[in-house]
Amino acid sequence: MKVWYLLLVGVALLVRQSEAVQPFCTTNPSVTVSPNDPRLPAFLPPQFQTVIEGSIINSGMTVVAKEYSDSAAGMARMDMTINNQVYTAIVNYNTNQSYHINNNAKCTVMNISTDDDAVLLGNGFGSMKHGFSTQSMLRFAQRYGEQYIGKTTVRGIKVDHWRSCLNWTSFSDIFTLDYYFTDSNWTTLDTSLQIPVRAEIKGEQYAPNGSVYYSFHHIYEYVSFLASIEDPYIFETPPGVGCPNRKSGRSMPKLKPQYQYREEVVDQSGAMLIQTDIWYDYGYKLVRYDYRPVEPGYPFWTQNPLSRIQDYNTGASYVIDHVFGNCTIEPIANSTWDAIHTASSKQALTLRNPEQLFYLDNTFAYAGQRPTRGILCDVYASFKNGTTMEIYFLSKDWTATDNTGIDPTTPDVPVQFSITYSDNTQMLYNLYDFDQEHPNILNAFDITPCYSDEDKISFRISFPYNAGSVLKVYKRAFQATCLELLSKLGQLSPVRIQKTEVHWTFDHIYFLATIVGMAPSIAKFQKWSGLMANYQDDMNYQQIGSATTCADLCDQQTRGTCNSFDYCPKSQVCSLSGLYTSDGKKLSNAPTCSHFSRVLTGPVDHEVASGDAYKVIKDGVYRGGFLIPIKFPGVNEVYRASDITDKIIRNPVAGKPVVKSIHHFTDHINKQVRGFDDLILTGLAVDECAAECQAEVVFDCQSFEFCYDTGNCIMSHIHPDEHPDSIISSQTCDLFVRDYTSKYTQLPGTTTLSKSDSIYQSINNANQCAKLCTDYNGFNCKSFDYCPDIHTCFLGRTHVFDLPKAQINVQPTCNHYSRNYADDFKKITNKVIRLQDNRIVFGLSAEQCAKMCVEEEMFQCSSFDYCGNSSECRLSTAAMSRVGQVTVDSSAFCSIYNRQYYPSGKVYVPPPPPTSAKYTPGAMAGLGIGAIVIGLIIGVIGVLAFSKFTNRPLDEMAVAFTNKYTVSTDE
Ligand SMILES: *[C@@H]1O[C@H](CO)[C@@H](O)[C@H](O)[C@H]1NC(C)=O
Ligand SMILES: *[C@@H]1O[C@H](CO)[C@@H](O)[C@H](O)[C@H]1NC(C)=O
Ligand SMILES: *[C@@H]1O[C@H](CO)[C@@H](O)[C@H](O)[C@H]1NC(C)=O
C-alpha cells in the first residue's frame, strides 16, 4: 500500500477543500483557463500503455512503473519496480476484483470495494469507478481548477503546462500538481494527440494540529506512451501464480472418466525431455503408461521401453518389456502416480479419478487466458505450500480434432500441466493427442504377453445377421459392447478379455476373443520384508511351501475376506488376517518373515478362473442372453448371439478342430505318409490348410497332413488311396485325402454303366474311382459305378438325371455315383442378386439348376438364384466375390448359389466383370436376358431363341426357358 502512495500520480485521489491554516497551496475550483488557453486534456485514449519513471526526491529513490489501461475491456494494470522488488496490481472491473502479485509469485485477490490499493486505483468515486490512475488524476486536476501556465519544453519536448492545487483528505496532504502534455504540433510515437510527458507534485503533509509533518516532492516522467497495448495478454496474471478465490470467467472443465494422451515431460532442472503415453479408463479401472526408464534401476534393470498396465480391479500391475517381450506381474506400488490412498484406509490404494490424475481440486482457481505452444488456453492455477500447479485447457473459442475414436472433436482438452516449486524450478507436462474416449480395447490393455498358452482360452461367438453395413461403421462399438458384456457375464476384469476381433460375412457376425488367466494372488498384495503383523491372526496354515501358496490361500478365502497375511519361509507358517496393515498395530521386526497386505480395499470379488468364466459365457450365449445393442443416430439394432465355440485355431489348448467340416477331404486320424512334402505351410488352421490345398495351382494337391504339435500343413500331389501302403501311423498328425466322392451323389446298390467303354480294374475304393471320373479327359465324365468286390470302376457320360428309368439296374454289390453340382456352390439364403440374370429357367430343382450352371457354355455361369416357391432358376455371370459389382437384395423364397469350385475340385475363379463395350457376338446371344433387362426399361419386350440350346442333346425332361416377362417353350 505504501508503494502506491509513492506513486501518487498513478492513482486516483480523494480530494476535498482544505481548511488547513497555512496550506502549501490553495485549491480554487473556480479558477478557469482563459478562453484562448488550451485545457488540460481530460481523457486519455481508451487503450494505452506507458512507462513512468518516478523520482521520489524527498526519499532519494527511483521507482519505475508500467501502466496499462483498457477501458473497453474493463481492465487495468500497473507493474512497479521499487527497491529491487516487483509489484503488480491488476484490476478487473468485470468481476470487481483486483489481483496483487508480489515478485511474480504470491497472488492475493481483493474485492475492489474493500481494497485499500483499489482506492488508489480509482474505486469508491461513484461515477469515477472506471477511472484509473493517470486518467483519474487528470479528471481531478480539471475538476479542482487547473490553471494553464504556458508553453515550455520538457526533455526537449515542446509541451503545454498546467497546474492545480490538490488536497488529499485521508492523509491531510496538500500539494501542487504540474502536468506537462505534448504541444499539439509535436509528433508523438504513434501520432496520438497530446500525451502526458511529465507530472510533478510538491507538497506537505500536516499533523492534526496543522503543523507540517512531512514535505514531499516527486517528478514523474512519461515515456513510450502508446495509444494501444502491445501484449494482448497483459491483463492476465503471470504464469506460475495462483490467485486463490479469483472469480472465474469459466468454471474449470471436467475431465471425462476415460482418456488417452501423449505426454512430454519437460524437466527443466534435470535438463531432460521424457515422452510417455497414457491410456486411462476410470470405468474399467485400468491405466496403462508406456515409458522408457530414465536409467536402469530396480526391479527390471533395463532401459528398454516398458508398458505398465495397472489393473485396479485386482491390484495387479503388468510390466511388459517391448524389446524382450517378457512380462512381470507385480502388485501396484503405493508410490505410483496414478494411485491414491483411499480415505478409509491409509494403506489400501485406489485409482485416481479423472481430476485427481492431474491433481485438480477445488483449490484451482481461474487464472485467465494465456497462450501456450501458440494455443489459446483457459488457465486454472492452484497455490499450495509454495508449489503452484497450473492446468491449461483449450479455450472455449478453439476446437480440437483428434485422430482417434468415434468422437470427431475433443472438448475441454488439457493442453499443458505445470508444477512450479518454491525454488522456481518447474516440471512442465505438454499434453498431446488428448482424446476423451475409451481407450482402444483392441490393444490398449494387452496383457497377453504375461500369460502362457495354458492360461488362455480363445473362442468365437457367432451372430446370424447380415450386418456388414452397420459393422463397417460401428465395428469398434460392437467390439466394446461385446467386451463389456463378456466382462459382466463372466465376472472378469476387462483386462482379462484380450485380442478381440470382429469379422462378418453375408450372413454372420463373428466375434473372437481370448480370456487370459487370473492375476497371480501374490501380485495383489504389497510386501513388507522382514516385518510381521502382531495383531491377531484369523487363520494359520502350517507347512505352506511358499509365499505364493499363502497368497493363494488368502486370496481364495471365502470365509470372510483375507486382507493381509504373514509368511515365514523358515517355519513354513502362513497366517491370514482380515485386517489391513494400517488397521492393526505397528508391524514388528521378524527378520525371517514377510508381511503382505492387500493392495486394494473394499469387497474382494474373487476372480473367476478362465475355464469357469468361459462356461458361464457359453451358457449365456446358448440361453440367448448374449445381446449386443448398437444404438447410434440412425442405427438401432440388437444382435443376439447364436453360437459359441472354442474350436478355433487361435486356441492352442482347446483340442483338435472339428475336421468333418472340411468335406472335400476324408480324414485319417493319426496317420501320415512317408516322404510327403510338396509344400509345407505353417500358421494355418486345419481348415485353412484344406483350403490352401484346394487352391494350390503349382501342383495338383491331392492330400495334406496337419500336425497339431508343430501346426505344420504339409501338402502333397500324392493321393494316398493310390498307394495305401505308404500310410503310416503318427502321434501328432492327421492325414486328409482329397475326397472326390463328395462331388457325387451315391445311389447305393445301383449300376447304370455296365456297358461303359471306360473301365478300370484294381481300384481300391470309390474315392479313387471318383478321382478317375473327375480327371477323365476322354469325355465329360458325369457319373461312375464302383463295385468294391471286384475292385472295378466304370466311368459314364450321362448323369442319372439324364437316364431313362429302364437303364437304372439293381446291383447290390455296386454303387452308382452321379455328379453332384450344388456342392460346388455356396448357398446364401433369402437373398438374390439384383438384375443380373443371364438365363432364367422354370421347373427345375436346385441341383438341376446347379448342373445347368456348371454345364453352361454360352457364358461363364458364376452364380445362380434359385427360388423355391416358383422353381425358378436364374443363371448369372455375376460373381459375389466381385465386391461392388453386384447388388444383393433380400428375398423370402430365393437363395443365391455362388460358385466356389470347378468340377475338378479346383477353386472357381470367376471371369472378370463384363464391360458393355466388350460383348462378343457369342456372349451377346448368351447375355440376351441381360439385354432384355435393359430393353425392358424402354418398354421393348423380346423373345429370345437360344440357338445353341437346340444343338445340345435334349435332356429327357422338358425345360422351359423364360425370363420374368417373356416365356417361350422349347419342346
Ligand atoms: C465486495 O464487497 C462489497 C461490499 O462489502 C460486496 O457488496 C460485494 O458483493 C463484494 N464483491 C465481491 C466480488 O466479493
Ligand atoms: C525380462 O527379462 C529380462 C532378462 O531375463 C529381465 O532382466 C527383466 O527384468 C524382464 N523384464 C520384465 C519386464 O519382466
Ligand atoms: C509403501 O509400501 C512400502 C512397502 O511396500 C512401505 O514401506 C511404505 O511405507 C508404503 N508407503 C506408504 C505411504 O504407505
**Residue 862: per-residue pLDDT:** 87
Best residue among 298, 300, 309 to mutate for probing ligand 2's pocket (most ligand atoms within 8 Å of CB) is 300
966 has a pLDDT exceeding 80: no
Ligand 1 centroid from CA 252, angstroms: 23
Q: How many residues does the chain have?
A: 971
Q: Kindly state if the Cβ of 324 falls inside 6 Å of ligand 2.
A: yes
Q: Average pLDDT for residues 368-397, to the nearest whole number?
A: 89
Question: What's the rounded Cα separation, in Å, for the pair 922 and 187?
Answer: 95
Q: Kindly state if the Cβ of 526 falls inside 6 Å of ligand 3.
A: yes
Question: What's the rounded Cα separation, in Å, for the pair 511 and 503?
Answer: 7
Question: What's the rounded Cα separation, in Å, for the pair 742 and 664?
Answer: 6
- For the CA of 349, the nearest ligand: 3
910 has a pLDDT exceeding 60: yes
Q: Kindly state if the Cβ of 322 falls inside 6 Å of ligand 2.
A: no
444 has a pLDDT exceeding 70: yes
pLDDT band (50, 70, 90) for residue 941 = very low
**Residue 332: per-residue pLDDT:** 94
Residue pLDDT, tens place only, 491-543: 888 889 999 989 998 888 999 999 999 889 999 999 988 888 866 677 888 88
Q: Kindly state if the Cβ of 336 falls inside 6 Å of ligand 3.
A: no
pLDDT band (50, 70, 90) for residue 1 = very low
pLDDT band (50, 70, 90) for residue 562 = confident
Closest CA to 462 of 649, 643, 679: 643
CA 96 to ligand 1: nearest atom: 13
Element containing residue 616 per DSSP (H, E): helix 610-622
Question: What's the rounded Cα separation, in Å, for the pair 622 and 147?
Answer: 100
- For the CA of 594, the nearest ligand: 3
pTM attached to this predicted model: 0.59
pLDDT band (50, 70, 90) for residue 324 = very high
Q: What single letter denotes the amino acid at residue 950?
A: T
Ligand 3 centroid from CA 527, angstroms: 9
Higher pLDDT, 326 or 622: 326
Q: Average pLDDT for residues 573-597, to the nearest whole number?
A: 82
- For the CA of 320, the nearest ligand: 2
Whether 161 contacts 180, CB under 8 Å: yes
The backbone torsions φ and ψ at residue 771, rounded to the nearest 5 degrees and listed phi first, read: -65, -40
Ligand 3 centroid from CA 389, angstroms: 26
C-alpha cell at 859: 457364358
CA 347 to ligand 3: nearest atom: 14
Ligand 2 centroid from CA 292, angstroms: 14
- Judged on CB neighbours under 10 Å (0-12, 13-18, 19+), 534 is middle
> What is residue 37's three-state secondary structure?
coil
Whether 405 contacts 435, CB under 8 Å: yes
For atom 2 of ligand 2, the residue with the nearest CA is 326
617 has a pLDDT exceeding 50: yes
- For the CA of 346, the nearest ligand: 3
**Residue 119: per-residue pLDDT:** 42
Best residue among 334, 337, 564, 589 to mutate for probing ligand 3's pocket (most ligand atoms within 8 Å of CB) is 334
> Using CA of residue 480, residue 481, residue 484, residue 490, what is the dihedral sign?
negative
**Residue 924: per-residue pLDDT:** 34
Question: What's the rounded Cα separation, in Å, for the pair 403 and 410?
Answer: 10
Q: Average model confidence (pLDDT) for the chain?
A: 79
For atom 2 of ligand 3, the residue with the nearest CA is 334
122 has a pLDDT exceeding 70: no
193 has a pLDDT exceeding 60: yes
Q: Average pLDDT for residues 677-695, to the nearest whole number?
A: 77
Question: What's the rounded Cα separation, in Å, for the pair 367 and 428?
Answer: 17
Question: What's the rounded Cα separation, in Å, for the pair 453 and 384?
Answer: 51
Q: Count Cβ neighbours within 10 Å for each residue of 509-533 and write b for 16 or more, e otherwise.
A: bebbbbbbbbbbbbbbbbebeebbb
- For the CA of 326, the nearest ligand: 2
Ligand 1 centroid from CA 96, angstroms: 8
For atom 1 of ligand 1, the residue with the nearest CA is 111
881 has a pLDDT exceeding 70: no
Distance, C-alpha 564 to centroid of its chain: 37
**Residue 652: per-residue pLDDT:** 60
Element containing residue 547 per DSSP (H, E): helix 547-555
Closest CA to 395 of 380, 385, 406: 380
pLDDT band (50, 70, 90) for residue 603 = low
**Residue 274: per-residue pLDDT:** 93
Best residue among 99, 113, 129 to mutate for probing ligand 1's pocket (most ligand atoms within 8 Å of CB) is 113
- For the CA of 298, the nearest ligand: 2
Q: Kindly state if the Cβ of 915 falls inside 6 Å of ligand 1.
A: no
Higher pLDDT, 27 or 425: 425
When mean pLDDT is compared across 577-586, 620-629, 724-733, the lowest value belongs to 577-586
DSSP string, 658-687: --TT-TTEEEETTEEESS--SEEE-S--HH
971 has a pLDDT exceeding 60: no
Whether 89 contacts 74, CB under 8 Å: no
Cβ contacts of 319 within 8 Å, gap of 6 or more: 300, 306, 307, 308, 327, 328, 329, 330
- Under DSSP, the state recorded for 256 is P
Higher pLDDT, 40 or 284: 284
C-alpha cell at 523: 501380485
**Residue 9: per-residue pLDDT:** 36
- In this structure, the number of other CB atoms found within 10 A of the CB of residue 623 comes to 8
Q: Kindly state if the Cβ of 525 falls inside 6 Å of ligand 3.
A: no
Question: What's the rounded Cα separation, in Å, for the pair 818 and 811?
Answer: 16
**Strand pairing class (564-568; 679-681):** unpaired
Ligand 3 centroid from CA 327, angstroms: 24
Q: What dihedral angle (degrees, nearest 10) is formed by the CA atoms of 837, 843, 845, 849? A: -30
Q: Kindly state if the Cβ of 342 falls inside 6 Å of ligand 3.
A: no
Spell out the long-range contacts of 107-115 with Cβ–Cβ below 8 A and sequence spacing 24 or more: 107/237, 107/241, 107/242, 107/243, 107/244, 107/246, 107/383, 108/243, 109/243, 109/244, 109/245, 109/246
Ligand 2 centroid from CA 327, angstroms: 7
Angle between helices 468-489 and 610-622 (to 10 degrees): 130
Ligand 2 centroid from CA 326, angstroms: 6
For atom 12 of ligand 1, the residue with the nearest CA is 111
* Most confident of the following: 212-226, 268-282, 875-889: 268-282
Q: Kindly state if the Cβ of 528 falls inside 6 Å of ligand 3.
A: yes
Higher pLDDT, 620 or 922: 620
Which residue, chain included where needed, has cell 528398454? 304
- Under DSSP, the state recorded for 871 is T
**Residue 364: per-residue pLDDT:** 86
Q: Average pLDDT for residues 322-338, to the nearest whole number?
A: 91
**Residue 137: per-residue pLDDT:** 64
Question: What's the rounded Cα separation, in Å, for the pair 165 and 902?
Answer: 113
Question: What's the rounded Cα separation, in Å, for the pair 542 and 638?
Answer: 54
Residue pLDDT, tens place only, 626-668: 999 999 888 899 999 988 888 787 766 544 444 334 667 877 8
Residue pLDDT, tens place only, 227-242: 999 998 898 888 877 7
Ligand 3 centroid from CA 588, angstroms: 15
For atom 6 of ligand 1, the residue with the nearest CA is 113
Rg value, the chain, Cα: 46
Q: What dihedral angle (degrees, nearest 10) is formed by the CA atoms of 605, 607, 612, 617? A: 70
CA 300 to ligand 2: nearest atom: 9
Closest CA to 842 of 961, 702, 958: 961
Q: Kindly state if the Cβ of 334 falls inside 6 Å of ligand 3.
A: yes
Q: Average pLDDT for residues 258-269, to the nearest whole number?
A: 92
Residue pLDDT, tens place only, 138-156: 666 666 677 888 899 999 9
Element containing residue 637 per DSSP (H, E): strand 635-640
**Residue 869: per-residue pLDDT:** 78
- For the CA of 332, the nearest ligand: 3
